[in-house]
Amino acid sequence: MANPDLDHIDEQLRDDVRALGNLLGSIIAEDQGADALADIETVRALAKDARAAEVTNWSELSAWLAKQNDQTLVTIARAFNQFLNLANIAEQAHVARQPDIGLTLPANESVASAVSELAIELVLTAHPTEVLRRTMIQKYDAIETALGKDAEQKHAELQRLITEAWHSDEIRKTRPTPQDEAKWGFAVIESSLWYALPDALRHLDAALARSDLPPIPLDATPLRIATWMGGDRDGNPNVTALITEEVLMLGRWMAADLFLRDLENLQGALSMTRCNDQLRSRVGDASEPYRAVVKTLRDKMLLTRDWAEARAAKPDGGVRASDPVSQSSIFWRTDELLQPLQELHDSLVECGMATIAAGPLQDSIRRAAAFGPTLTRLDIRQSSDRHADAFDELTRYLNVADDNSGYNDWSEARRCEFLLRELDSRRPLFPTTWPASAEVSEVLDTCALIARLEAAGIAQYVISMARHPSDVLAVILLLRDAGLKQNLPIVPLFETLDDLERAPDTLNALLSNTWYANYCGQEQQVMIGYSDSAKDAGQFAAAWAQYEAQEQLVAVADKHQVKLTLFHGRGGAVGRGGGPAQTAIRSQPPHSVNGRLRVTEQGEMIRWKLGTPELARNSLTGYISATLESSLNPPDLPRPEWREAMQRMAARSLSAYRATVRDDPSFVALFRALTPERELGILALGSRPARRAATDDVASLRAIPWVFAWTQIRLMLPAWLGTERALGTSQEELAELRAMLDWPFFRMQIDMLEMVLAKCEPSLTRLYATKLLGDLPADSVDALCDRLAALQSTVLKLRGADKLLTNEPALAESLSVRNTYLDPLHVLQAELLARYRADEQPDSAIARALRVTMAGISSGLRNTG
């Protein structure tokens, strides 16, 4: 289907979009008939006319769709969803075609030492807003690859792949299990990060060489990959100790399988005969010493793979690090693989074969250092309330308190006194015959698993909803009593606005405690929660609270001479802290990075940023560049008047946001009627329930569906609500705001706000209201749209522009292309929601079409979850 709306974009990108669209159109016509393709063209033309009108009006398209039968709407939904995904693929291929500009190091005499101390970890999380089936993602990846082939090959392969995609179900019908989520994360590593990570480190070596600096040590780990998939049990009853064990074994199986491929390649390549004395002592009189070592490693890796596969298939909670099989027959810890590979490298260099050493062997060594035999490092996450409940049950069962009270009744001081006393005790605390509840038993089983594994493959324990020092001490006691001897890092996660404000005092109290200071060993990690703080306070006020909390946490760590790593729990959407990673890093408070960074990669953004080796390499080098820049050349402190202005604006924003979301008694009903929040259940988004508790209020709703639902109707409310009251509109106020754009933190807030506002389309929001509000007053929607319009006007005045994204023409063009296919999906979704809600037993075709529109809108707008 030709699209004349593409004439203004890059020629190669335009040709790809048109070619893919025409192929899809011919495939639809062949499958559904010429009339179906004509219907699709009618929808596209009506949507184009509506947007081109002086006042956007969707009524004609809406009326046309209302006359069609359910099956016709399924075909239309699937067509525009596929057109949109193909346009995204073409755009992604276009980005990949751009020249590789390499990695530029900041101009600073301390670069070498800063590089040696780099510690960047990306954490793949089990919060996917990725609704596509894995098989569809693989087909789309293949389409992108085919776009790079010669004309004759390209056409035939694209036709076959797009036909496969059209004749496949694009949406999952059932929720993924935690194991499914973990396998999806492992697949990203297998297909992309396995190659991208050593490639990114080669880029770093090349940049160092250009500055006449030595390469990074082979066993250094400036980049690592961790995951929450299979370890995040906060509010997810589907993640149990057995599930976590199975995921850990699946990771070991995948790691062994990938390393086997490396070892087989090395066995073919390392046929040299000359070696140094150290290697000769290892292999004896073997004629091909390098191959002899690789063969030994390969045999052990085969046993490791078979063992892990068997354990993953039948987890029973019995795997121990001390099992005989794990001590000798399999790879259990990183150094068991890394040391012999390094010996091969050292021998080659010593014997004058450095060129060979710098080939595939170097990449294998760096993979061994970064991934190890577990492939990823798994975080365990649980809510502080679950740990407190465990101790409450225990203290009541043991009658610990003379006043018959339990742990949950105690003051913070009394809790800490109890925990520290028990931590110093040599006797077990938890009786083996204790009849604990199922919830408490799961907490204890998880700690027992960590202890049995001696924390191998476990990165740290994250405590969500952390508020007090006792929340950290409680987890340490649970692990110690389970038998863990290592000091596993315990990471408090501060999420709500109140928690962020208390975070510095909590950390100071922890580090002031001699017992805990000895435990943490002068290193501490703190996680900043972007999602729940934004849902609690609004994006603008939350961003300022996060900034201030980080400043104060750094000051506390400096006071106690502790190395602090800030773990940023960012989502893909702006309403959950999303945004370009490099810009975000450079906008952090001065000295809050210092070469140490941990950050979540969530939802569909994993595919957009890490889905192919080229994209992943660029993302990883971007993280390296921005982290070094922020560490070596940090931004200046904000001027005192800017800080005061932010305080005033954040207070106004907070008040306006909460007045709507918390205090307006009609807001929840409006939210549930206007958005597809209630229907998200038919969209198999992830293994975790959408709500923390079975209530209808916003507080119990998780941040992902909160943002996702508003995005579907193009209002993007979580990303801007309250900001319209925060930013001043007088000439004097605007002048102050323009001056504040020199501050990287504030500039990023406005940049992200402008991007969100460009994605808003209030005319579509009003269409949803017309279709779905019923007896609810539409003036509430009008009021929200008026507030949005006022904010858009303020941002345009601030920018001195007549339209949004004037300074971002590539993004503006991208949105323009995607709107061609998004607009019909929105109008169609409004119609489908009305039909779905009107029928007590909706037709399965309506549910299918509705799922497809949700997926298409999510893919088209990207930063949705």
Closest CA to 234 of 736, 717, 689, 707: 689
The whole-angstrom separation of Cα 145 and Cα 158 is 10
Closest CA to 579 of 590, 589, 568: 568
The whole-angstrom separation of Cα 101 and Cα 245 is 42
127 is catalytic: yes
DSSP state of 599: E
Please tell me whether residue 120 adopts helix, strand or coil conformation.
strand
302 exposure class (CB count in 10 Å sphere: 0-12, 13-18, 19+): middle
Other CB atoms within 10 Å distance of the CB of residue 8: 10
Determine contact, residues 111/213, Cβ cutoff 8 Å.
Answer: yes
Q: Name the residue with tokens 């409310």.
A: 717
Single out the catalytic residue among 535, 591, 609, 759.
535
Determine contact, residues 282/343, Cβ cutoff 8 Å.
Answer: yes
Determine contact, residues 120/170, Cβ cutoff 8 Å.
Answer: no
Crossing angle for the helix pair 70-97 and 11-32, to the nearest 10 degrees: 150
Helical spans, DSSP H, in 33-133 = 34-52, 59-66, 70-97, 111-116
Helical spans, DSSP H, in 225-288 = 241-269, 277-283
Closest CA to 147 of 88, 198, 101, 61: 88
Single out the catalytic residue among 48, 94, 127, 568.
127
Q: Is the dihedral of CA 716, 718, 719, 720 positive or negative?
A: positive
Residue 462 parent element (H or E):
strand 458-464
Q: Name the residue with tokens 């100071």.
A: 508
Tokens of 23: 């192929």
Q: Name the residue with tokens 């476990």.
A: 458
Residue 90 CA: distances (Å) to CA of 19, 68, 81, 94 = 10, 31, 14, 6
Catalytic amino acids? 127, 535
